[in-house]
Amino acid sequence: MDDKSFKILVVDDDPIARDVVFSILSKEGYYVIAAKDGFEAIDFLRSEKFDILITDLVMPGIDGIELIKSSLKMNSDLATVIITAYSTLDSALKVIDLGAYDYITKPFKIEEILFLVARCKKMLNLQRENMILKRFINHIFSHNLLNVEKLEQTLLDEIKGLNVLTDAEIKVFQKKLESTNGKAKSSGS
């Protein structure tokens, strides 16, 4: 996944803090949208799928905790990060227990934000690879495909993107897929 397809929603009622995070991530090439409060953030989350939510903890109306609860109901794969000036061990443990990936305290350094986003991105990529590999294994076992002749093209394309197979292995699967598809077309004519 490249940085431009990796979507980040930044939420903070403090325009300066919001603009700083937005600016840092935008300059790194990420697709970033900024919301001024929890209400606006929920509207964005309903209309678009994001990979990371970075939100302030203390905001009027819908605070960071309520926003995390709502956002994870809408998208359980969303990596959520809290930024707070009011960091206590209790608040940190509470947001992590709710499903937040991590938290960062204000004032923060540019490197901290970039490192945290890179960690989230790596974690999400690993989760997606794991999901694709599980689908691959389930496909093999559910179709009793020890020779993988009925491998679907879309699944093969996803596996190629993971870089877990050698070029030779991919060519073998591709050839089997083409011969299986060719047999199906010739028997249907």
pLDDT in tens, 147-182: 555 556 677 777 777 766 677 777 777 777 677 655
Cβ proximity of 19 and 35 under 8 Å: no
Q: Is the pLDDT of residue 145 over 80?
A: no
Mean pLDDT taken over the chain: 81
Contact 89, 107 (CB under 8 A): no
Alpha-carbon gap, residue 169 to 156, rounded angstroms: 11
In CATH, what is the architecture of 7-124? 3-Layer(aba) Sandwich (3.40)
Count of C-beta atoms within a 10 Å radius of residue 110: 14
pTM of the entire structure?
A: 0.70
The three-state secondary structure class of 151 is coil
Q: For the ranges 18-32, 33-47, 125-139, which has the lowest average pLDDT?
A: 125-139
Domain boundaries, the chain: 7-124, 143-188
- Whether the per-residue pLDDT at 42 is higher than 90: the answer is yes
pLDDT of residue 142: 66
